[in-house]
Amino acid sequence: MKLDILLVTLVWVCFSSNSADKVRWDPEFLDGSNWMRDNLDLLGKRTLKQICIPGSHDAGMSDFRPGTALAHPCNVQTQTNPIKYQLELGVRFLDVRPAIGNGGLFLTGHYSRIAGGTWQGGNGQSIQSIVNDINAFTKDHNELIIVRLSHTLNTEVGNNSYRKFTQSEWEKLFQILDKTNHLYHNSEGSVYLPSLSLNHFTDFGKRPAVIYVIRDPKSGVDLTGRLGKGYFNQTSMNMYHKYSKTDKLSTMFGDQMQKMREYSRSSYFMLSWTLTQGGKKAAFCRLNLAKSIRELADEANSNLRMILPEISQLSYPNVLYVDDIKSIDVTSIAMEINSKLKF
């Protein structure tokens, strides 16, 4: 009799433990706006290097503002939802690519250089609207948000002469970004951010924190005066990120899993789960002869769970980097990974 009771107790404990873990990532219960705060008992003491978060590729490209001649929503727009709604769905890493265009405005851009040295692409959300979206979100949610600024491009100088931002253009951009509330400060400007805990950034869930990471080496931007005051160089992340340059799901899967096994232990690893069109398909999608970026994203995102059997303590992503986040599913998978990892 005592043995039967013991067995029943053990089964119940195991079941309860598994059920409790599942609640953390079950989309029915997961709150995308507060998932970090809601899971501080699991994640609070962990460093960023020990946590997986959802990331949004070309996060500002939910809008479409015409740019070059061949630009079209099918080959420029990577997102359906603006950044505020991406944050509410759980995104905590935003890939923002500042551009100057449409009459000197500071916008987000999605451009590619093509044969002949010319550029093709278009613009999305304004930088000011992104700041507004972040501020609206952090007003009510004590979460950590990382914004990577890269691929700056001035498109007001003639198509053959598009170039990186100058220091004065960066300064004008910073003056907009300085209005971001809850910028994270660290007196050690060169601090390795992934070594710090979630509790450190959010003061045990009592405050939000926003970090801008600058990754635009060819522009030669100088952060003097702002370094450590919400703004950090890419060296503070030691980030590994290389996309697979394919529109084939199986090819991307194999390539990204190999990269994860090779680089995730030694770097802040971004799993680039984005299918890319290539030049011809980017042109043909205008004629409905090829899939759009967001259609490719639907295929990729619906198959993201295929990475889960590959996850281990020695091989896991820090950022699930995807196009067109339209549901809480990516956040659910990130939390399933976090629950699987034991630190």
Q: What is the per-residue pLDDT across 148-190, written as a single tens digit (0 to 9) for each?
A: 999 999 999 988 889 999 999 999 999 999 999 999 999 999 9
pLDDT at 13 over 60: no
Maximum distance among all Cα pairs of the chain, rounded to whole angstroms:
85
Write the DSSP string, 198-264. Answer: HHHHHTTTTS-EEEEEEE-GGGT---TTTBTBTEEEGGGT-EE------S-HHHHHHHHHHHHHHHT
Provide the CB-side half-sphere exposure for 66 (13 A, CA): 2
Element (H, E) at 105: strand 105-113
Poorest-pLDDT segment among 11-25, 144-158, 187-201: 11-25
What would the two tokens of residue 28 be?
């029915």
Q: Cβ(273)–Cβ(301) under 8 Å? A: yes
In terms of pLDDT, which residue wins out, 161 or 274?
Answer: 274
For residue 110, give the nearest of 160, 162, 53 by alpha carbon: 162
In terms of pLDDT, which residue wins out, 157 or 138?
Answer: 138
| Pairing of β 119-126 and β 105-113 | antiparallel
Collect all residues with Cβ–Cβ distance below 8 Å to 287 and sequence separation of at least 6: none
pLDDT at 19 over 90: no
Burial class (CB in 10 A: 0-12, 13-18, 19+), 139: exposed
What separation in angstroms does the CA of 81 have from each of 124, 130, 189? Answer: 11, 12, 33
Distance (Å, rounded) from C-alpha 10 to C-alpha 16? 10
Q: What does DSSP assign to residue 158?
A: -
Burial class (CB in 10 A: 0-12, 13-18, 19+), 5: exposed
Distance (Å, rounded) from C-alpha 285 to C-alpha 293? 9
Share of the chain above pLDDT 70, in %: 94
SS3 of residue 277 by DSSP: coil
pLDDT for position 25 = 86
Q: How many residues does the chain have?
A: 343
pLDDT for position 21 = 77
Poorest-pLDDT segment among 82-86, 134-138, 275-279: 275-279
pLDDT for position 18 = 61
Residue 11 banded pLDDT, cuts 50, 70, 90: very low
pLDDT at 140 over 80: yes
Give the predicted TM-score (pTM) of the model: 0.93
Average pLDDT on 75-102 reads 97
pLDDT for position 286 = 84
pLDDT at 146 over 60: yes
Distance (Å, rounded) from C-alpha 149 to C-alpha 58? 10
Strand partners, 185: 229
